[in-house]
Amino acid sequence: MASAKIDKIAQDIKTMRIRGAGRIARAAAKALKIASKESKAKTPAEFTKEIAQVSKLLLNTRPTAVSLPNAIQYVSIALKQANDLDLQKLKKAVISRADEFIKNSNEAVKRIGEIGANRILDGDVILTHCNSQSALSVIKTAFRQGKHIEVFVTESRPVWQGRLSARELLKEGIPTTMIIDSAARHFMRDIDKVIVGADSIAANGAVVNKIGTSAIALAAHEARTLFFVAAETYKFHPETLVGSLVKIEERDPSEIINLKRYPKLKVRNPSFDITPAEYVDLIITEQGIISPYAAYSIIQDIFKWTLGKKV
């Protein structure tokens, strides 16, 4: 049985009180750390079973954010690498992996900001969509370097993540303008660069991100505006290397409309869409800037998947 703390983390991820792929991943690692600390297991086998149960609970919260299973895999590998450890050492190994993941994740966001800021010029007008910590790190770092920039933020309906981004940018002192999502094409010719995050990146370079991203990318492509994606390498999707499709999550219609007033109305509410690699100019990772077509190699290097097999 998961503790109340773990149940709350899972519920917060599911209801989007914890949102953003990076935050979700770090929250999952934290939940596994809590599970290890609170474990009542008497044997390594019982402990492994407990961790598996907590992992399953977390995995069922948000099916599209690949950062979640990748974080769980990163932490849980301690169980596979430590079969000969006693129970207490096994618990410490899981806790250590969780702490390591959280530390690396936070450092990755900072590093992405430093690398990406080099692609921002003084006077740039930037458009961002949703609330990506990696994308915002690029923008904030460029501003802290003394570059005079302006940012357009979409509302990012229906959950309004753009308001979170606007709040962060204004707190930094960055001139910020909010627009409705459907106005992105109208303003695109005023934009120098689009910078978004990613919930998942497929082996073919396609980017899964907040619904509306693909329409913005298409508008940027049409206007010849540079389109950047800022994403940690743990957001690359290893299973797409062997042809698995990314599952697009559909959320509760109540986020859009009160169905009690329209009982016969059918509502579709996908959280994400897929932007083809040809609309992405570059991907900024903590390891450096890559072409979207290099995603295949990143997945092989990071996850050690080759020819449909895990190594």
Domains and CATH numbers, the chain: 4-109 (1.20.120.420), 118-310 (3.40.50.10470)
Q: Are 274 and 251 in contact (CB under 8 A)?
A: no
- What pTM did the predictor assign? 0.85
Q: Average pLDDT by consecutive 10-residue portion of the chain (311 residues)?
A: 86 88 91 94 91 93 82 86 78 93 94 98 98 97 98 97 97 98 97 96 94 98 98 88 73 94 95 96 97 88 53 36
Give the pLDDT of residue 86. Answer: 85
Q: CA–CA separation, 79 vs 172, rounded Å?
A: 42
Provide the token pair at 48: 């492994």
Q: Catalytic residue at 7?
A: no
Identify the active-site residue in 7, 181, 192, 199: 199
Query: Beta 193-196 vs 226-230: how paired, if at all?
Result: parallel
Q: How far is CA 210 from CA 87, 197, 248, 258, 281, in A?
A: 41, 9, 10, 22, 18
Give the pLDDT of residue 304. Answer: 59
Q: CA–CA separation, 295 vs 269, rounded Å?
A: 28
Q: How far is CA 24 from CA 4, 51, 141, 201, 269, in A?
A: 18, 18, 23, 16, 20
Q: Catalytic residue at 86?
A: no
User: Residue 252, Cβ neighbours under 10 Å: how many?
Assistant: 11
Give the pLDDT of residue 244. Answer: 59
| Cis previous bond, 158, omega within 30 | yes
Q: For residue 37, how far is the Cα from the chain centroid?
A: 26
Identify the active-site residue in 130, 192, 252, 273: 130
Q: CA–CA separation, 165 vs 172, rounded Å?
A: 11
Q: CA–CA separation, 221 vs 282, rounded Å?
A: 13
Closest alpha carbon to 135 in 148, 119, 121: 119
Give the pLDDT of residue 307. Answer: 37
Give the pLDDT of residue 162. Answer: 97
Q: How far is CA 224 from CA 148, 191, 217, 219, in A?
A: 22, 10, 10, 8
